[in-house]
Amino acid sequence: MFVRSLTLRNYRNYSELHLDFDQNINVFLGQNAQGKTNIIEAVYYASLGRSHRTHTDTDLIFWDKPAASVQLDFDRLGVGNHLEFQFSREKRRRILLNEHPIRPKELIGSINTVLFSPEDLFLIKGAPAGRRRFLDGEISQASPAYYHELQQYTRIVTQRNTLLKRIRERKAAPDMLDLWDPQLVDSAVKITRKRQEAVRKLNMLANLMQRRISGNQENLAITYEIHGMEAEDMTKDLASWYNKELASHREVDILRGSTSRGPHHDDIILTVNGINLRSFGSQGQQRTGVLSLKLSELEFLRSETGEYPILLLDDVMSELDVNRRHQLMEFIRRERIQTMITATDAAYFPQERIGTYFHVKAGQITR
């Protein structure tokens, strides 16, 4: 999969821009605040229908302009496609795939991307919600059915929580929960199973990457942790376990007005050579861990979709030491993965020509 070209109109600090991409490595060089990340953001937006930096689409429109557009020509499994986003301060955004309007959820799976930016360190250091988002994003890109199941699950939990509060206020009878719980269990099992399967694959792939980057010094392991599940429960049937847990936590749930078991509380645990990366990993180990995880996403999506996704590396070259940078570039080159890299300094790249270099200055780009 690759993006052939990108056309921006009044998007962020670009009033008019047309870019033809290299099918392998694209390096965007420039000082701070010139518009490098804005390019990465536009490609990322096209893959998921949202920015990684803002939830408000009007932030994407050039300061005083009423509207903006982003257009991409991309190849997927050998077929050319055209995708267009139209943003307006007055109206709802429009998405057109090959000239036909589509809904945001129909966008999922059109263009796949893997983004690695300095904020990704929070994936290891931060709260479980970030790791769940990472995993869900991964699976959703490969499986729109999972994305819909997740939406369905979130709806059930929200409705169950509303009911719990009503029961607490004696506005509803506790046995009303008997209607909701089977639906919750059914959806929770589907999500948990899919996440466990994805973690098994990521675990294998990420460890291969970690060994490669660390010169066979480090082993990375990723495991899925079901909130509240004890070791002796792990062999039990998942649906019966959820049923039992929901029943035994019913009183607590009513008191709190929230559902205390389910995949919305789960986590993934990363260890290097058996040591928990979040609590005991060095900065360098954490960075390598995230990089391995990101590179394993590439392999994961390739195994699910048949093609490598597009790799977006925003400002991460300065975060890696020379050896890791070298390993990374070698991997991208060997596998011919289309990659967009932003950096402030050409010194992060090898002397020889490795792809196409773009110079970015105040919303203008020159090759």
Ligand X SMILES: Nc1ncnc2c1ncn2[C@@H]1O[C@H](COP(=O)(O)OP(=O)(O)OP(=O)(O)O)[C@@H](O)[C@H]1O
Q: Which positions make up the binding site?
A: 30-37
Nearest residue to 73 via CA among 82, 61, 60, 85: 82
> Which listed range, 36-44, 239-247, 275-283, 318-326, lies at the site for ligand X (CB under 6 A)?
36-44
Binding residues for ligand X restricted to 294-353, rule: CB under 6 A:
315, 342, 344
Residues 6+ apart with CB under 8 A from 171: none
What is the C-alpha separation between 128 and 209, in angstroms, rounded?
A: 23
Please give the annotated binding residues for ATP, written as ranges: 30-37
Nearest residue to 285 via CA among 327, 331, 326, 321: 321
Q: What is the nearest approach in angstroms of ligand X to the Cβ of residue 69? A: 14
Nearer to ligand X, 32 or 216 (CB): 32
Residue 35 is a binding residue for ligand X (CB under 6 A):
yes
Binding residues for ligand X restricted to 44-73, rule: CB under 6 A:
59, 61-63
Q: What is the nearest approach in angstroms of ligand X to the Cβ of residue 87? A: 10
For 43, other C-beta atoms within 10 Å of its C-beta total 22
Candidate list 13, 51, 143, 356; residue touching ligand X; CB under 6 A: 13
* Total residues in contact with ligand X, by rule CB under 6 A: 17
Candidate list 3, 21, 38, 114; residue touching ligand X; CB under 6 A: 38
Order the strands of the 275-276 sheet from edge to edge: 220-225, 267-272, 275-276
Residue 12 is a binding residue for ligand X (CB under 6 A):
yes
Q: What is the nearest approach in angstroms of ligand X to the Cβ of residue 40? A: 8
Residue 19 · residue 365 · CB < 8 Å: yes
Q: What is the nearest approach in angstroms of ligand X to the Cβ of residue 72? A: 17
Residue 272 · residue 219 · CB < 8 Å: yes
Residue 17 is a binding residue for ligand X (CB under 6 A):
no
Residues 6+ apart with CB under 8 A from 279: none
Q: What is the nearest approach in angstroms of ligand X to the Cβ of residue 309? A: 21
Candidate list 8, 30, 147, 192; residue touching ligand X; CB under 6 A: 30
Residues 6+ apart with CB under 8 A from 31: 344, 361
Nearer to ligand X, 33 or 247 (CB): 33
- Using DSSP's 3-state secondary structure scheme, residue 80 falls into strand
> Which listed range, 35-43, 138-146, 197-205, 222-230, lies at the site for ligand X (CB under 6 A)?
35-43
Output phi, psi for 6, to 5 deg: -135, 130
> Which listed range, 31-39, 150-158, 188-196, 330-338, lies at the site for ligand X (CB under 6 A)?
31-39
Tokens of 177: 């929960």
Candidate list 37, 113, 286, 296; residue touching ligand X; CB under 6 A: 37
The burial class, CB within 10 Å (0-12 / 13-18 / 19+), for 321 is: exposed
Residues in contact with ligand X by the rule CB under 6 A: 12-13, 30, 32-38, 59, 61-63, 315, 342, 344
